[in-house]
Homo-oligomer: A and B are copies of this chain.
C-alpha cells in the first residue's frame, strides 16, 4: 500500500505542477503551488484506488485525484486564516497567510476551489459527460454549505458555545468537515464508471469518522515535529473532541472498530479491494 500511496502522491504532485504551469508567477499562482505541495494525499489515493477497482484508467483518474487535493488544499488555506483557526504552521512550513499575506491566502483558497472544479470536469478526466457532470455536482454538494463549509462553521460556533458539543453533534460536524470529501473521493471511481457506489459509500462513512477520531487522538498524543502543525490546541481550548468525550482508549477502540466496518463493506470486491482496506488501517496507524 505504501508503494501505491507513494506512486499516487508523486503522480498527483506532478499533475498539479503541470496544470498550474500556465498560471504564471504571480503571488497567487505561487501560493497555489505552495499550498498543493506535500500532504498525505489520502483523498487522491482513494480516487485512484476506487477508479482501479472499477477498471478506470489511471490517466483519467489522475484528473479528479488532483482536483480533490486542490479542494482539500483550499480548505486548509482558509481554515488557517487569522479569522478562522489562526494557525502559523502547516505540514512543517509557514501557512500561506504567514508566508505571503491574508489577501493572498484568501485568493489562493478561492482559486484552488475553482481549480478543483476545473480538474474534476476536465474532458481528459471521466470518459462520459454524465460522469463529469455528476462528479462536479456531487463535489459541489460535498464541499459547500451543507457539507465541508457547514462542518467548519459548526466547528467555529462550538468555540464560543456555552456548553461543549455532544458526541452526536461532533459526529455531525465531522461528517461535514472531513467525511464529505472522503466520501466523494472513495466513490469517485464508481461514479466515473457509472457503477453502483453503495459499498464504497459505506466504506467511506466508516473511514471518514475513523479518520477524524484519529486526528483527535493525534492532537492529544502527537508531537509538533511529527504532525508538522500545532498539537494539543483542542484540549488547551477546552473544545469537546472524540477523545474528551470518549476517553483516549475508548476513542482508539472506536476508530479500530470503524476501520473493521470499512474493510467489511468492501468484501464483495474480494482481493481487488486490498489497497483500500490497507488505507483504512493506515488511517489509524498514522502519527500525522
A285 lies within 8 A of chain B by Cβ: no
A241 lies within 8 A of chain B by Cβ: no
A174 lies within 8 A of chain B by Cβ: no
A66 lies within 8 A of chain B by Cβ: no
A210 lies within 8 A of chain B by Cβ: no
A114 lies within 8 A of B136 (CB) = no
CB distance from A134 to the nearest CB of B (A): 8
A94 lies within 8 A of chain B by Cβ: no
| CA–CA, A84 and B122, complex, Å | 31
CB distance from A136 to the nearest CB of B (A): 4
Name A143's closest neighbour in chain B (CB-CB).
B114
Contacts A26-B153, A84-B106 known; 14 new A-B pairs at CB < 8 A? A27-B153, A27-B157, A28-B145, A29-B145, A78-B107, A104-B153, A110-B110, A111-B144, A114-B147, A115-B145, A117-B139, A123-B133, A128-B129, A129-B130
This protein's copies in its complex: 2
| CA–CA, A157 and B114, complex, Å | 21
Name A22's closest neighbour in chain B (CB-CB).
B146
Query: Which of B78, B111, B146, B154 makes the CB contact (< 8 A) with A110?
Result: B78
Q: Which residues of B sit under 8 angstroms from A149, Cβ to Cβ?
A: 28, 107, 110-111, 114
**A133-B140 contact given A28-B149, A110-B78, A145-B29, CB 8 Å threshold:** no
A12 lies within 8 A of chain B by Cβ: no
A118 lies within 8 A of chain B by Cβ: yes
| CA–CA, A253 and B128, complex, Å | 48
CB distance from A101 to the nearest CB of B (A): 7
- The CB with the most chain B CB atoms within 10 A, among A106, A128, A157, is that of A106
Considering the complex, which residues of chain A in the window 148-186 have a beta carbon less than 8 Å from any beta carbon of chain B? 149-150, 152-154, 156-157
Task: Bin chain A's interface residue count.
Answer: 35 or more
Chain A interface (Cβ within 8 Å of chain B)?
A: 22-23, 26-29, 32, 74, 78, 81, 83-84, 101-104, 106-107, 109-111, 113-118, 120-123, 128-130, 132-134, 136-137, 139-141, 143-147, 149-150, 152-154, 156-157
**A123-B140 contact given A84-B103, A106-B106, A145-B115, CB 8 Å threshold:** no
**A150-B28 contact given A113-B110, A156-B103, CB 8 Å threshold:** yes
| CA–CA, A118 and B136, complex, Å | 7
| CA–CA, A147 and B22, complex, Å | 12
Q: Which residues of B sit under 8 angstroms from A146, Cβ to Cβ?
A: 22-23
CB distance from A88 to the nearest CB of B (A): 16
Query: Which of B23, B120, B134 makes the CB contact (< 8 A) with A145?
Result: B23
